[in-house]
Structure 1
Amino acid sequence: MSHKVITHWKGNLQFESDNPNGKLVTMDTTPEHGGHNSGLGPKAMMLSSLAGCSGLDVVSILKKMKVPFSDFRIDTYGELTDEHPKYYHTVSVEYHMYGKDLDEEKIKKAVDLSIDKYCGVMEMFRKFADVKTSIHYHNV
């Protein structure tokens, strides 16, 4: 299976990129780097991709396991190298699960399956970064 993405320059430092499903995303940079903040930053989008990939796994697994939860949030932090080309050398992924009487054992199993087996973006990140993960349970 292969994916094709077309990224088109829209003027100044703004680009628009499609997705195999046809959706579009706008990328830009900050004014200090000559942009207008009119879109998402490419590096930060990588962190979003990591969280989205793993989040899709976790929700799918929890639904199959019939594990209830009321909310789910992933906080992802990336530390960039000081020298160019700057890339994330360390990444932290914090899984925040919310609900009443959360089944922590099953939630941990779902997160671990994503981290260790299913999330391809996580595997890609491991090729260039030290990835740390944690789960935070919020019984509300």
Structure 2
Amino acid sequence: MSHKITTTWVENMQFESTNPGGNLRIDAGPEFGGDGLGYRPKALMLSALAGCSGLDVASMIKKMRLEVSDFKMETEGLLTDAEPAVYHTVLVDYHFYGSDLDQDKLRRAVDLSVDKYCGVMAMFRKFAEIKINIHFHRT
């Protein structure tokens, strides 16, 4: 199995990139000569990480029939000072909302994603330290 995308220059610093779910626009911010009209490449990596793990956790929430009214992740990548700037540390905060959260099962779902299922997480571990936090919010 493989993934193949095509990324085509549109104008200035903008590119259009294919994806199995649809196309997306990539652009640099004005501070780097772009127009700020698209996603930033490094930030897309963080979205891929959160999306991969989020899909795992959502699947387990469904399979375990857990009561969760809302679920979100906040992901922050800390960059090196030297060029090329790369993520040296990535913080991933999982937030679960509900009136009757099964905290043990939700922790297990996150752990399974982080340690076993999320391929993007495994790739990130090759170059960055990953720090995970889980937060439970009673609604």
TM-based fold match above 0.5: yes
Q: Secondary structure at the match of 2:111?
A: helix
Q: 1:2 to 1:47 in 2, by over 3 A?
A: same
Which 4+ runs in 1 deviate beyond 3 A? none
Who is 1:88 aligned against?
A: 87
Question: What amino acid is the match of 2:52?
Answer: C
Give the distance between the partners of 2:62 and 2:21, measured in 1 at CA. 27
Who is 1:62 aligned against?
A: 61
Who is 1:14 aligned against?
A: 14
Q: Secondary structure at the match of 1:111?
A: helix
Per-residue deviation at 1:101? 1.3
Per-residue deviation at 1:22? 4.9
1:126 aligns with 2:117: no
Question: What amino acid is the match of 1:7?
Answer: T
Give the distance between the partners of 1:5 and 1:65, measured in 2 at CA. 34
Which runs of 5 or more structure 2 residues have no equivalent in the other structure?
none
TM-score normalised per structure 1: 0.98
Which runs of 5 or more structure 1 residues have no equivalent in the other structure?
none
Question: What amino acid is the match of 1:101?
Answer: D
Question: What amino acid is the match of 2:51?
Answer: G
Question: What amino acid is the match of 1:111?
Answer: V
Counterpart mapping for 1:1-140 below 5 A: 1-19=1-19, 21-140=20-139
Per-residue deviation at 1:32? 1.2
Q: Secondary structure at the match of 2:100?
A: coil
TM-score normalised per structure 2: 0.98
Aligned sequence identity (%)? 59
Q: How many residues align?
A: 139
Give the distance between the partners of 1:73 and 1:32, measured in 2 at CA. 30
Give the distance between the partners of 1:28 and 1:54, measured in 2 at CA. 25
Task: Give the alignment's Cα RMSD to 1 decimal.
Answer: 0.7
